[in-house]
């Protein structure tokens, strides 16, 4: 009986996944989507005292493509540590021009020990796609901050509707299996 329930549950999850995938693959592309800025992060340097003071200096090379207001294209640089946004800065460039911007972002608090380094991310703004990132970026002085070792794997991003649906289907199947296994 339990085996029949498990097979029926898996079949239902598979049918729902296939229907959802079919519904998304034939969807028309969004119209009028503005092009995003182009950019890169270079000349990274950073320092930490492991306790309170952290600093990352960078240069971003940005080409403005979309008028986010006033003839300017906006981008944002974010510093992430162990999944938490620590600090960010917003920068503007005139549409149609390319500039190099050098800046320093500072934040307070200890460096997280879950993974080595911080992530430096350059995003198109507002709410745009990631243009460039450096992760991990190890700050000078971080090696002495405790027992920090690099993660032994590289995360695999789920991109697009097919990847998302596959992940949802696998998670649903695992959940059904766990629920039926407990009985």
What is the Cα–Cα distance from 14 to 26, expressed in whole angstroms? 19
Q: 29-81: per-residue pLDDT in tens?
A: 343 455 566 788 989 999 888 788 899 999 999 988 888 889 988 899 999 98
Domain-located, residue 130: yes
What is the 8-class DSSP label of residue 159?
A: -
**How many domains are contained in the chain?**
1
Tell me: pLDDT of 115 over 70: yes
Range of the domain at 56: 38-144
SS3 153: coil
Residue 169 has a pLDDT of: 83
Residue 106 lies in a domain: yes
Phi, psi at 127, each rounded to 5°:
65, 25
Bigger pLDDT: 83 vs 21 = 83
pLDDT tens digits for 137-150?
A: 888 887 767 654 44
CATH number of 94's domain:
2.60.40.10
Q: Is residue 156 part of a domain?
A: no
Residue 70, in any domain of the structure: yes
In a domain, 97, yes or no: yes
91 falls within a domain: yes
The answer to whether residue 167 sits within a structural domain is: no
Degrees, nearest 5: CA angle 125-127-133: 70
Q: What is this structure's pTM?
A: 0.60
pLDDT of residue 31: 36
**Does residue 169 form part of some domain?**
no
What's the CA gap between 173 and 167, in Å, rounded?
Answer: 10
């Amino acid at each position: 009986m339990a085996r029949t329930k498990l097979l029926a549950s898996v079949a239902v999850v598979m049918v729902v996944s296939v229907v959802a995938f079919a519904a998304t693959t034939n969807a028309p592309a969004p119209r009028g989507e503005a092009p995003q800025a182009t950019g890169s992060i270079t000349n990274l340097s950073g320092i930490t005292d492991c306790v309170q003071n952290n600093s990352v200096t960078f240069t971003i090379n940005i080409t403005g493509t979309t008028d986010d207001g006033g003839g300017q294209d906006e981008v944002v640089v974010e510093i992430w540590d162990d999944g938490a946004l620590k600090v960010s800065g917003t920068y503007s460039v005139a549409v149609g021009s390319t500039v190099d911007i050098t800046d320093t972002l500072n934040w307070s608090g200890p460096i997280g020990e879950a993974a080595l380094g911080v992530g430096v991310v350059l995003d198109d703004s507002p709410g745009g796609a990631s243009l460039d990132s450096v992760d991990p970026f190890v700050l000078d002085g971080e090696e002495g901050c405790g027992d920090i070792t690099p993660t032994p794997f590289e995360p695999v991003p789920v991109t697009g509707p097919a990847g998302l649906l596959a992940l949802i289907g696998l998670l649903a199947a695992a959940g059904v299996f766990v629920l039926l296994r407990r009985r």
